[in-house]
């Protein structure tokens, strides 16, 4: 399966993803193609809408103490639902769909998430720290929400200015 990352300001990223009902080979193919792409692009989390598939699917792979990612730590979540959100956390986030921009975002500290694995088995995970932030970030993608949508008016303005400049520079590099 040939996948590529959809980047802001592509309107595709605003789409609401739909529930997965078929835990079939096609779903497995999508998941299997998302993981290597996420590693190649230096991501720790990726939602299916970021590769133009509007399904309630996301993957997470938090690096270990040595900063290394491994398939053993890969989490695949289908149809995730938050059942608990507690405390406050601020984390400087980035996104593969908004390359080169990072900003502080307010999140919950601890979450409990119910989801299904690739076979349709129900799972429950309660977590905090980076994994909790990543889950909240990726679940926002399923609703068509980006981390830049959660910034204050002033910070959003700063983003638009910086990002436009970045896109312009990219274009100029291409044309020269
Ligand atoms: C979401 O984000 C996330 O700008 C995953 O040039 C963010 O993997 C989870 C990335 C913060 C937890 C905390 C971003 C790679 C990767 C870039 C990512 C870039 C290259 C972002
Ligand atoms: Co993202």
Ligand 1 touching residue 44 (CB < 6 A) = yes
| pLDDT score for 116 | 99
Q: Whose C-alpha lies nearest to ligand 1, atom 4? A: 99
The pLDDT of residue 154: 97
Q: Is 12 exposed, middle or buried (0-12, 13-18, 19+ CB in 10 A)?
A: middle
Catalytic-labelled residue, pool 138, 143, 160, 172: 138
Q: Look over the chain and give the mean of its residue pLDDT values, rounded to a whole number.
A: 98
* d(CA 137, ligand 1 centre) in Å: 10
What is the number of the ligand closest to the CA of 13?
2
Task: Tell me the pTM.
Answer: 0.98
**Segments making up each domain of the chain, as ranges:** 11-151
Tokens 């900063």 label which residue? 67
CA of 58 to the centre of ligand 1 (A): 14
91-135 residue pLDDT tens: 999 999 999 999 999 999 999 999 999 999 999 999 999 999 999
Segments in the chain forming alpha helices (H): 25-40, 129-142, 153-175
11-151 in CATH: which number?
3.90.45.10
Q: Is 138 a catalytic residue?
A: yes
The residue whose CA has the least distance to atom 17 of ligand 1 is: 99
| Cβ proximity of 36 and 44 under 8 Å | no
What does the pLDDT read at residue 9? Answer: 98
One-character DSSP codes across 16-46: PPB-----SHHHHHHHHHHHHHHHHTT-SEE
What is the dihedral sign for C-alpha 106, 10, 81, 65?
A: negative
pLDDT digits (tens, 9 = 90+) for 50-78: 999 999 999 999 999 999 999 999 999 99
DSSP secondary structure code for residue 15 in this structure: S
pLDDT digits (tens, 9 = 90+) for 146-165: 999 999 999 999 999 999 99
């Amino acid at each position: 399966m040939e996948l590529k990352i959809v980047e802001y300001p592509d309107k595709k990223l605003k789409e609401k993803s739909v529930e997965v009902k078929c835990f079939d080979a096609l779903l497995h193919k999508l998941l299997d193609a998302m993981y290597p792409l996420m590693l190649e692009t230096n991501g720790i989390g990726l939602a299916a809408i970021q590769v133009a598939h509007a399904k309630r699917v996301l993957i997470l792979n938090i690096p270990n103490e040595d900063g290394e990612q491994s398939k053993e730590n890969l989490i695949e979540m289908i149809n995730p639902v938050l059942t608990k959100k507690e405390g406050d956390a601020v984390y400087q986030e980035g996104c593969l769909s908004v390359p080169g921009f990072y900003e502080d975002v307010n999140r919950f500290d601890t979450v409990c998430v119910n989801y299904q694995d690739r076979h349709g088995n129900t799972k429950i995970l309660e977590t905090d720290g980076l994994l909790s932030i990543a889950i909240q970030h990726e679940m926002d993608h399923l609703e068509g929400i980006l981390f830049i949508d959660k910034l204050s008016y002033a910070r959003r303005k700063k983003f638009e200015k910086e990002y436009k400049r970045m896109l312009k520079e990219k274009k100029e590099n291409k044309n020269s």
